[in-house]
Amino acid sequence: MARRLDSDIVPVSGTRDAAVVTVIFTVEKSELKVILVHRSEEPFRDRWSLPGGLLNPGESPDDAASRKLQEETGVRDVYLEQLYSFHNLDGRGTLAVTYFALVDSRSARLARRQVWQPAWIPVAELPPLAFDNRSVIDYAVLRLQAKLDYTNVAYSLLPERFRLSQLQEVYEAILGHKLDKRNFRRRMLSLDLLEPTGGMVAEGAHRPAQLYAFKERRPLVL
């Protein structure tokens, strides 16, 4: 059984009994999805698992998480935060420092490998996972949902310019339920996070919708 440690920050680097695990989220077609890799070796061969691995010699957990993110998606400079530290996640006593990242799938390029192939999998349709990865994903979803209330983390899931309806789709995918359009729009505009770009885009048979941008594309606390 994996055990969550009390401290978020773990001062370890380059040790054989320390690893990083990354929970990389996106919102695609109104669904919250996560990157999983198809395992090609034991244990849990042919099951899906979160990307991760042991730290390189002298490597910090933060650097290792950034490395795994870039290896799996080809992107950098996106929202990446330490999630929690788990002991014995793999059943062998390894300390796993877990992270979660938010990526716009339109700018990501999944790694092309013959083995350990990655894929975007809907969080609502997770297959049986290796180790105790389900508990890590569940915890990451809860953390992400909470952050929507007091941060601007959604910026990392959207293009530079977007419709308010796209922003609402991101919130709904993460929260798992529909939101009132008028109330959502009022709240978003009242937070002083967004600015109109002056651009417009057609939305089907409806009148053109205004395009917005985040004033800051970096983590902010509201």
**What's the pLDDT tens digit per position in 79-97?**
999 999 988 777 778 889 9
What stretch(es) of the chain map to CATH 1.10.10.10? 153-214
Which 8-state DSSP code applies to residue 56?
A: P
Nearest to 172 by CA among 31, 11, 15, 4: 31
Give the pLDDT score at 88: 77
Peptide bond into 43 cis (omega under 30): yes
Is 80 exceeded by the pLDDT of residue 7?
A: no
- What is the distance between the alpha carbons of residues 56 and 3, in angstroms, rounded to a whole number? 24
Please name the helix (run of DSSP H) or strand (run of DSSP E) that holds residue 66, with its range, or none.
Answer: helix 61-73
Check the CA dihedral 117-171-173-6 and report its sign.
positive
Percent of the chain with pLDDT over 90: 75
Give the pLDDT score at 177: 97
Backbone angles phi, psi at 147, to 5 degrees: -70, -20
Q: What is the pLDDT of residues 113-153, one digit of tens each?
A: 889 999 999 999 999 999 989 999 999 999 999 999 999 99
Is 50 exceeded by the pLDDT of residue 2?
A: no
What stretch(es) of the chain map to CATH 3.90.79.10? 3-133
Is 60 exceeded by the pLDDT of residue 5?
A: no
- What is the distance between the alpha carbons of residues 165 and 73, in angstroms, rounded to a whole number? 26
Contact 30, 167 (CB under 8 A): no
- What is the distance between the alpha carbons of residues 141 and 50, in angstroms, rounded to a whole number? 14
Is 80 exceeded by the pLDDT of residue 1?
A: no
| Pick among 3.90.79.10, 3.40.50.12780, 2.60.40.10, 3.40.50.300: CATH of 3-133 | 3.90.79.10
Is 80 exceeded by the pLDDT of residue 9?
A: no
Cα distances (Å, whole numbers) of residue 67 to 51, 71, 72, 162: 11, 6, 9, 29
Nearest to 59 by CA among 11, 96, 14: 14
pTM attached to this predicted model: 0.89
Please name the helix (run of DSSP H) or strand (run of DSSP E) that holds residue 110, with its range, or none.
Answer: none
Give the pLDDT score at 4: 31
Backbone angles phi, psi at 126, to 5 degrees: -65, 135
Q: Kindly report the CATH number that applies to the domain delimited by 153-214.
A: 1.10.10.10
Q: What is the pLDDT of residues 171-217, one digit of tens each?
A: 999 999 999 999 999 999 999 999 999 999 877 667 789 999 999 99
